[in-house]
């Protein structure tokens, strides 16, 4: 395993990585056992994603996931965390207004043990209010899985000039509202590169090309153990590895050395 310092990472440490040009590694985690392996491998951020609705619960979307379930899984992960920065997703319809967002975010931090919450979309008012209450926030733009019934399909976002400009504007607005991180999902690599350059907060990509400040994948996808087809932007890191620990290390080194994602994993 990687020999890493045991000091827990803060958002200041993650931000410093962008400033010095070090790629940020992130994986989803849903339980203590996998979290312990991810943490020991030196992964910088663990995301308790509402993707658990699909890879753990077997749903076809993330929509059915509840705040109680997210708190439970955040607790499981936080008990095993020693170093990685811990983010938890705000599930569907738990941040419809600032007061509701604050109530549910508080649960994820106070009970779940998360250090930051992630919201999908340009929820500028909610982000600003949460930050005012001392709650760190990660934004999420591009493909928004919680909006799949409105989108109709899981497809690349921001391909047209108008849509691309909106994503760039929304990224600026989220930063101005106080967001400390931004996830970009399924957007053209050239657009993701532009956004990563234009804003000062770290940008974590998933299906967004190699020029983001960091990368995130769903753990079960990169271990090739998901119940559904692995997305094109993901990669089976179990290939050529003797086990889970070695696969996670392979992912860690591939991201740090800008070997992943390659063109075949980008749009």
* Assigned domain for 68 exists: yes
* Assigned domain for 106 exists: yes
Three-state DSSP at 209 gives coil
The structural domain count of the chain equals: 1
Task: Say if CB 83 and CB 90 are below 8 A apart.
Answer: no
**Phi and psi dihedrals of 27, rounded to 5?**
-135, 150
Mean pLDDT of the chain: 96
* Assigned domain for 4 exists: no
* Assigned domain for 102 exists: yes
Encode pLDDT of 8-37 as tens digits.
Answer: 999 999 999 999 999 999 999 999 999 999
* Assigned domain for 3 exists: no
The whole-model pTM stands at: 0.96
State the pLDDT at residue 226.
78
State the pLDDT at residue 86.
98
Three-state DSSP at 210 gives coil
Distance (Å) of CA 173 to CA 63, 123, 167, 176: 26, 9, 10, 5
* Assigned domain for 245 exists: yes
Q: What 3 state SS string does 77-146 have?
A: HHHHCCCCEEEEECCCCCCCCHHHHHHHHHHHHHCCCCCEEEEECCCHHHHHHHHHCCCCEEEEEECCHH
Cα–Cα nearest to 119, from 181, 43, 207, 35: 181
- Tell me the catalytic residues: 185
Q: What is the DSSP letter of 264?
A: G
Encode pLDDT of 195-247 as tens digits.
Answer: 999 999 999 999 999 999 999 999 999 999 978 888 999 999 999 999 999 99
CATH of the domain at 69: 3.20.20.60
* Assigned domain for 72 exists: yes
**Phi and psi dihedrals of 171, rounded to 5?**
-60, -45
State the pLDDT at residue 6.
67
Q: Cis (ω within 30 of 0) for the bond into 4?
A: no
β-pairing, 203-206 vs 181-185, is parallel
Range of the domain at 39: 11-265
């Amino acid at each position: 395993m990687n020999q890493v310092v045991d000091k827990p990472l803060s958002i200041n440490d993650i931000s410093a990585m962008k400033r010095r040009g070090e790629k940020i590694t992130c994986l989803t985690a849903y339980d203590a056992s996998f979290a312990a392996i991810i943490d020991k491998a030196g992964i910088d951020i663990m995301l308790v994603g509402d993707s658990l609705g699909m890879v753990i619960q077997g749903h076809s979307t993330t929509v059915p996931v509840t705040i109680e379930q997210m708190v439970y899984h955040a607790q499981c992960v936080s008990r095993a965390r020693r170093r990685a920065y811990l983010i938890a997703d705000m599930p569907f319809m738990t941040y419809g207004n600032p007061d509701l967002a604050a109530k549910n975010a508080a649960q994820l931090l106070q009970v779940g043990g998360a250090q930051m919450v992630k919201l999908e979309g340009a929820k500028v008012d909610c982000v600003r209010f949460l930050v005012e209450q001392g709650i760190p926030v990660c934004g999420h733009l591009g493909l928004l899985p919680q909006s799949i019934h409105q989108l109709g399909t899981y497809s690349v976002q921001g391909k047209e000039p108008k849509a691309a400009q909106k994503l760039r504007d929304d990224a600026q607005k989220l930063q101005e509202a106080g967001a400390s991180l931004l996830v970009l999902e399924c957007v053209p690599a050239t657009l993701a590169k532009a956004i990563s350059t234009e804003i000062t907060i770290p940008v974590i990509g998933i299906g967004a090309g190699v020029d983001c400040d960091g990368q995130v994948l769903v753990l079960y996808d990169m271990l090739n153990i998901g119940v559904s087809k692995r997305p094109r932007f993901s990669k089976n890191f179990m290939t050529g590895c003797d086990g889970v620990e070695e696969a996670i290390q392979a992912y860690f080194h591939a991201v740090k050395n800008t070997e992943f994602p390659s063109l075949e994993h980008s749009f």
